[in-house]
């Protein structure tokens, strides 16, 4: 069944389906099933699956999945090259433009809430800050501590100071640098947004299995990663000695497995620590989607056929 059955003509923009959810929820499998049924193209909406360095740790689609349906924006960036939300959005915009003459849907799937927000609500990027100012602020952060930088930011951009998570050195410095360089808060810049997708063009769902089932899937996935060679993958990335603030270095499980690779703990401890960290990350993801996408239907069933039926109903196929 194709989106032509939805009343989409060649002259219309392609239908856009958004499939969000926590890690290990089964959202990628759902996207793949839908792509096979509709001829759709799957687009990555996960910030870490962008990077070539971590195929196993991020559960990036493998060769068999890639052969079943076209995929885009998976493993396209080197770990030393930090992608922003804006850069991902520009890449997604290009894909939407390329698909203008297609009657097959683009199926965005992932767990990075900011990507979905940028698509559906817009993103206003502030002008880049001077590299010297950024370096000076990073040095000040290291010298004076997070509390001092956060206090300075709170005086100029209280919304950002309240929103940015503890220990997020990069975003704190970025927000303060924008306010100092432009005389306008990052929050104000971000308020000037125009959605890339009009409301009539997209539908979204959240894949949300019950917590017990999700935790079991997470634990099993981490154990499979070890069998697939994740420690060697982590060792290769660690050997590059990249800057710790780069997104790829913050991948869930990297620090935990790197501890084993570097001889700081046994493998079974790294496995348990990665499972715990992944469960905590999944909880944060679900909190985001419940708060930021409260009107998106949630698909809670674990049965693959029922998931497909529920998604097709939402996407009006």
Number of domains in the chain: 2
pLDDT in tens, 261-282: 999 999 999 999 999 999 999 9
Same domain for 307 and 220?
Answer: yes
Of 2-6, 83-87, 183-187, 293-297, the range with the lowest mean pLDDT is 2-6
Same domain for 119 and 207?
Answer: yes
pLDDT computed for residue 200 by the predictor: 87
pLDDT computed for residue 4 by the predictor: 31
Of 6-15, 60-69, 80-89, 268-277, the range with the lowest mean pLDDT is 6-15
Mean pLDDT across the chain, nearest whole number?
Answer: 91
Same domain for 74 and 174?
Answer: no
Residue 183 sits in a domain whose CATH number is 1.10.20.140
**Domain boundary residue among 191, 206, 222?**
191
pLDDT computed for residue 57 by the predictor: 98
pLDDT in tens, 6-53: 333 333 556 899 999 999 999 999 999 999 999 999 999 999 999 999
Same domain for 96 and 213?
Answer: yes
Higher pLDDT, 102 or 19: 19
Same domain for 200 and 118?
Answer: yes
Share of the chain above pLDDT 70, in %: 95
**Domain boundary residue among 176, 191, 206?**
191
Same domain for 199 and 94?
Answer: yes
Same domain for 147 and 274?
Answer: no
Same domain for 83 and 210?
Answer: yes
Domain with 155 in it:
131-191
Confidence of residue 162 (pLDDT cuts 50, 70, 90): very high
Residue 19 sits in a domain whose CATH number is 3.40.50.300
Same domain for 161 and 149?
Answer: yes
* pTM: predicted TM-score of the whole model, two decimal places: 0.80
pLDDT computed for residue 142 by the predictor: 94
- Please say if the pLDDT value at position 229 is more than 80: yes
Give the alpha-carbon dihedral of 270, 272, 276, 277, to 10 degrees.
Answer: 10
Same domain for 258 and 226?
Answer: yes
Same domain for 187 and 198?
Answer: no
**Domain boundary residue among 174, 191, 208?**
191
Same domain for 210 and 241?
Answer: yes
């Amino acid at each position: 069944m194709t989106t032509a059955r939805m009343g989409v003509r060649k002259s219309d923009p392609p239908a856009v389906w958004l499939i969000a959810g926590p890690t290990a929820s089964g959202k990628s499998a759902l996207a793949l099933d839908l792509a096979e049924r509709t001829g759709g193209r799957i687009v990555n909406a996960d910030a870490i699956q962008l990077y070539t360095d971590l195929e196993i740790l991020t559960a990036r689609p493998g060769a068999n999945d890639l052969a079943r349906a076209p995929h885009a924006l998976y493993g396209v960036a080197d770990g030393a090259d930090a992608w922003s939300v804006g850069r991902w959005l520009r890449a997604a915009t290009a894909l939407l433009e390329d698909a203008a003459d297609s009657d097959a849907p683009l199926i965005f799937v992932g767990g990075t809430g900011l990507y979905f927000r940028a698509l559906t609500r817009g993103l206003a990027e502030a002008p880049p800050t001077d590299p010297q100012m950024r370096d000076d602020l990073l040095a000040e952060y290291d010298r004076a501590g997070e509390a001092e930088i956060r206090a300075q930011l709170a005086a100029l951009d209280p919304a950002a100071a309240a929103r940015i998570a503890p220990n997020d050195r990069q975003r704190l410095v970025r927000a303060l640098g924008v306010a100092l360089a432009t005389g306008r808060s990052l929050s104000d810049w971000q308020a000037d947004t125009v959605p890339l997708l009009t409301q009539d063009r997209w539908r979204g769902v959240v894949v949300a299995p019950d917590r017990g089932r999700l935790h079991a899937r997470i634990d099993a996935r981490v154990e499979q990663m070890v069998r697939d060679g994740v420690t060697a993958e982590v060792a290769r990335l660690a050997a590059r000695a990249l800057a710790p603030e780069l997104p790829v270095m913050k991948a869930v499980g990297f620090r935990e497995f790197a501890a084993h690779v570097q001889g700081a703990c046994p493998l079974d401890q790294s496995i348990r620590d990665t499972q715990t960290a992944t469960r905590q990350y999944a909880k944060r993801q679900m909190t985001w989607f419940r708060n930021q996408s409260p009107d998106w239907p949630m698909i809670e069933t674990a049965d693959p056929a029922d998931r497909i039926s529920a998604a097709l109903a939402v996407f009006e196929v």
